[in-house]
A and B are shown apart, each in its own frame.
Chain A
Amino acid sequence: MLGDSSRRGVALSTTSTVVVIAAVLAIFLLAPGSAQVRHTFFNPTDMWRSFVGDPKAGYYSVGAALWLNIRMFIAAEILILILALAVAVVRQSTGPVLLPLRVAATVYVDVARGVPLILIIFAIGYGLPALQLTVISDQSAAVYGVAALVISYSAYVAEVYRAGINSVHRSQVAAARSLGLTQWSSMRYVILPQAVRNIIPPLLNDFISLQKDTAQVGLLGAIEANKAAEIYSSTVFNYSSYVVAAILFLLLTIPLARFTDHLIRRDQARRLAGAAQ
């Protein structure tokens, strides 16, 4: 009986999926401007040309430009993990001496979360060079872009850390302190390791978002994948390069998304096993 009904379920879901895809495809292909859209967005020749690039013709390789996105992502991610942890620990501190730091951290989180990323990118990317300072004003667009991403994302990630710290039961703090561990040692050896374990899925979620937001650094002129696609389209007047960039970003983010799902499932299984005991 059960086998029958589950087989019917699979058949039903397969049929409905095929029908929906066929309908969407039919609408796309039968639309009055279909041929035009397919030519400007999905032209295989243009897609290949934009992917490999041709500097002599005046455009860059979208594929090669993605390497800059990856580098910016990795650099930003490492810095975010460190800065956000510092902000979270300061916000969680209780000592009266640290009050000014606590206020500063709170203001930072409020501001950095409230201002759109694109404005932070402009403020850093155009503001710092205009100051005409040594070193600080002489960086590349990619460096300013990473700085802006770090400022914006650390505020979010700090709050994720904080939620993780609060998710560890207070009795763990009591147990640690009762053994004579200092407040810092309790945080370092007992609270943070458990907190980080609890927040890995939401952290990865933020990093999926970070991966694609590296595209916004192109606004400062850095030749990342999205900027390379834009240059191609304005040189050749064909938008297929954007589709190439989109596909490349998907190839980056989907594995991370599946990995996140896997971790969430594993965590659930572990919790269930723990509850069963």
Chain B
Amino acid sequence: MGRDMGLTSEVPAPGPDGSEALRIEGLRKSFGPHEVLRGLDLAVAPHEVICLIGASGSGKSTLLRCVNLLERIDAGTIWLDGQAITRPGVNENLVRRHIGIVFQSFNLFPHMTVERNVTLAPMKVLGLSRTEAVARAAELLDRFGLGEKRADYPDRLSGGQQQRVAIVRALALRPRLMLLDEVTSALDPELVADVLDVIRELAEGGMTMLIATHEMGFARDIASRVCFLADGQIVEQAPPGRLFSEPSDERTRRFLRRIVDAGRL
């Protein structure tokens, strides 16, 4: 029996609760002497859209990078669909097929056309033929209004278009979970709406998502649950209506007051 059999076969291995899309327990991560995540817990049901809010440096990005195994965690366990993905011996490349991540700075491959950016992983990771991968890419690019940009290189695209291509690139692997790391923070204000529309469409399609964001209005609009991060933990989580109108933790109140004062809510 291969140790990562659970991630290759169709039969899910038993986890703490098979009905959860994602479960995180006791997650710790330090960079040198600085402990960013201090025993963080989080459970996400299928089709849930979780917005992570909190001050810069509160660990939102680190959390997402840990879930995608881009950072080696110090302690704790992460389960994806009931299977522990932080066990030693798990094939991280297999795990990442199922978890798409989109970065603040797009990180498209500048030497490849839009189409090649989108087809690379389906061909090299999933083993799709060029024809299949191109068809899959065309379908996604058309769906998000990027069909005409197929042959362009990323530097010919606006920031909003680049970020939408980055989302399509992640979707091309048909992930079960999408991680969005402040995907609109590097965009000019007039380009933000296009990208948020794409995310909204994904949410309506039932995609399970973990979204780190500074867009409070958007979080209130789209999230099934908002989690406020501070001191390396989730100090408060609630449906957006409740968290934004009647926060219970003092740290959440202080954070939201600053956001309101800055005119961003």
Q: Which residues of A contact B (CB under 8 A)?
A: 171-172, 174-182, 185, 189-190, 193-194, 197, 274, 277
Contact = CB atoms under 8 A, between A and B. Distances in A.
Nearest to B68: A178
B169 A172 contact: no
Contacts, number: 56
Given A178-B70, A179-B120, A190 B93 contact: no
B155 interface: yes
A171 B124 contact: no
Interface string B103-132: 101011111000000001100110000000
A194 B110 contact: yes
Given A180-B121, A189-B124, A175 B109 contact: yes
Q: Is the interface of A mostly helix, strand, loop or mixed?
A: helix
A172 B107 contact: yes
Given A171-B107, A172-B107, A274-B155, A179 B170 contact: yes
A197 B111 contact: yes
Given A189-B124, A274-B155, A178 B93 contact: no
A194 B111 contact: yes
B107 A175 contact: yes
Nearest to B120: A189
B173 interface: yes
Interface string B159-200: 000000000011001000000000000000000000000000
A174 B170 CA distance: 13
Given A171-B107, A193-B111, A277-B155, A178 B101 contact: yes
Given A180-B121, A197-B111, A171 B105 contact: yes
A179 B155 CA distance: 21
B180 to A, nearest CB: 12
Contact of B173 (A172, A177, A179, A277): A179
Nearest to A182: B93
A171 B104 CA distance: 11
A274 B103 CA distance: 20
B103 A171 contact: yes
Interface residues of B, number: 24
Q: Is the interface of B mostly helix, strand, loop or mixed?
A: mixed
Given A178-B170, A180-B96, A194-B110, 15 more contacts: A171-B105, A174-B107, A175-B103, A175-B107, A176-B109, A177-B93, A177-B96, A179-B96, A179-B120, A179-B169, A180-B93, A180-B94, A180-B121, A180-B125, A277-B155
Contacts of A175: 103, 107-109
Q: Pick the most buried of A175, A197, A274: most chain B CB atoms within 10 A of its CB.
A: A175
Contacts of B150: none
Contact of B93 (A172, A181, A197): A181
Contacts of A190: 109, 120
Contacts of A177: 70, 93, 96
Given A180-B93, A180-B94, A180-B96, A174 B111 contact: no
A212 B265 CA distance: 68
A43 B110 CA distance: 56
A171 B111 CA distance: 14
18 contacts: A172-B107, A172-B109, A175-B103, A175-B107, A177-B70, A177-B96, A178-B96, A179-B121, A179-B169, A180-B173, A181-B121, A181-B124, A185-B124, A190-B109, A190-B120, A194-B110, A274-B155, A277-B155
A181 B100 CA distance: 12
Interface in B61-117: 65, 68, 70, 93-94, 96-97, 100-101, 103, 105, 107-111
Contacts of B70: 174, 177-178
B108 to A, nearest CB: 8
Contacts of A189: 120, 124
Nearest to A270: B155
Contacts of B101: 178
A193 B112 CA distance: 10
